[in-house]
Amino acid sequence: MRQRSAAIIALFVLAATAVFGQQPPVFTPFGALPVLDNYLEALRRQAGIPGMSAAVVREGVVIWEKGYGYQNTASRIPATPDTPYLVGDLSGTLATVMLLGCYERRQLYLNDPIRKYGAELPEANVTVEQVLSHTMPGAATL
């Protein structure tokens, strides 16, 4: 399970690197995509990951996607780019990393009310920082 989680984190880090300002390499039919494809399959096998999916997005358009292994190993159903995966408790961590990337690029401000970004909470003036740090007014403390 840890190996699967590590692979998922690695894919999100690669995606976040492209999203947060670094220019992706130029992809040609014989360029980086075949290298990425071979690497992901080798990683999947080495880590014992039963199935995973990957996509490369450039300027909001999916330019490459592929499923690896199986979405159901018992019935040997192949993984596809659209296969849903359980990520457990990683969702909050990944969302926080992406939000802090927005903060670094000055697209989001931690002291702004969360409602400015479309979230509605019972406390009207809860800030982004309070939500991320779990220090909202009225929150139970231990």
Contact indicator for 49, 71 with CB cutoff of 8 Å: no
Residue 8 has pLDDT above 60, yes or no: no
Residue 18 has pLDDT above 50, yes or no: no
Assign 142 a pLDDT band (cuts: 50, 70, 90).
Answer: very low
Instruction: Give the tens place of pLDDT for each residue, 67-113.
Output: 999 999 999 999 999 999 887 788 888 888 888 899 999 999 999 99
> What mean pLDDT do residues 4-9 have?
52
Structure confidence at residue 20 (pLDDT): 47
Return the structure tokens found at 78: 């192949």
Instruction: Give the tens place of pLDDT for each residue, 20-64.
Output: 444 555 555 557 788 889 999 999 999 999 999 999 888 888 989
Structure confidence at residue 93 (pLDDT): 86
Residue 7 has pLDDT above 60, yes or no: no
Cβ-based neighbour number of residue 65 at 10 Å: 13
**What pTM, to 2 d.p., does this model score?**
0.51
Which H helix or E strand runs over 62?
A: strand 61-72
Q: What is the 3-state secondary structure (H, E, C) of 113-136?
A: EHHHHCCCCCCCCCEHHHHHHCCC
Determine the residue type at 42. Answer: A
